[in-house]
Amino acid sequence: MLVNSIIFWAFFLVVLLPYFCILKKEAKWQNIWILIASYVFYGYEDWRMALLLLAATIIFFGLSLTLPCREGTSNTISESHRKALVTLGVILGAGMLLYFKYLNFFIEQFAALFELMGVKTNFSSFNIIVPIGISFFIINQIAYMVEVHKGNMESYFVVYVKAPFY
């Protein structure tokens, strides 16, 4: 969806008007509306990308729910388990980046290296579509998990679900 297209501006108005007019004083519903609109926008070109984004969001959000949200909360998970969950999140995020952005590059480079050594290979790159902004999104999710674990940031769950609204 190009910024200078009519479909973009129609989508923009469909999202913006309810956000500021109907949901003006409801921060929780504004956030939910923007989240849904973001998935629709992201999946406009290819719905599989929205599913990927949704899956990554659910995974990282689920992992972050187990992390300490603020001092004084009663978590039954030990600190070593929390660190393991953060490590798992970092490994999953790095794995997603490696797969979507760098797998084809590594395959091609190893094939070229083996050819230089005189070894014929049948390596071929995969037909992987790189989602737009995957690096930004995954690095943000990893940073979110680490900051929640360190206690520098409250979990979105606490802020938007448990906390009283405006």
Q: How much is the pLDDT for 70?
A: 47
Structure tokens at 45: 């070109």
User: What is the rounded CA–CA span in Å between residue 131 and residue 134?
Assistant: 6
Helix spans in the chain (H): 6-17, 27-42, 47-65, 79-97, 103-116, 134-150, 156-157
User: What is the rounded CA–CA span in Å between residue 9 and residue 25?
Assistant: 24
Consecutive 10-residue averages of pLDDT for the chain (166 residues): 87 91 86 88 86 87 72 64 89 92 87 87 77 86 86 60 39
User: What is the rounded CA–CA span in Å between residue 164 and residue 98?
Assistant: 40
Q: How much is the pLDDT for 91?
A: 95
Q: How much is the pLDDT for 42?
A: 85
Q: How much is the pLDDT for 159?
A: 43
User: What is the rounded CA–CA span in Å between residue 115 and residue 123?
Assistant: 11
Q: How much is the pLDDT for 164?
A: 40
Q: How much is the pLDDT for 95?
A: 94
User: What is the rounded CA–CA span in Å between residue 22 and residue 16?
Assistant: 10
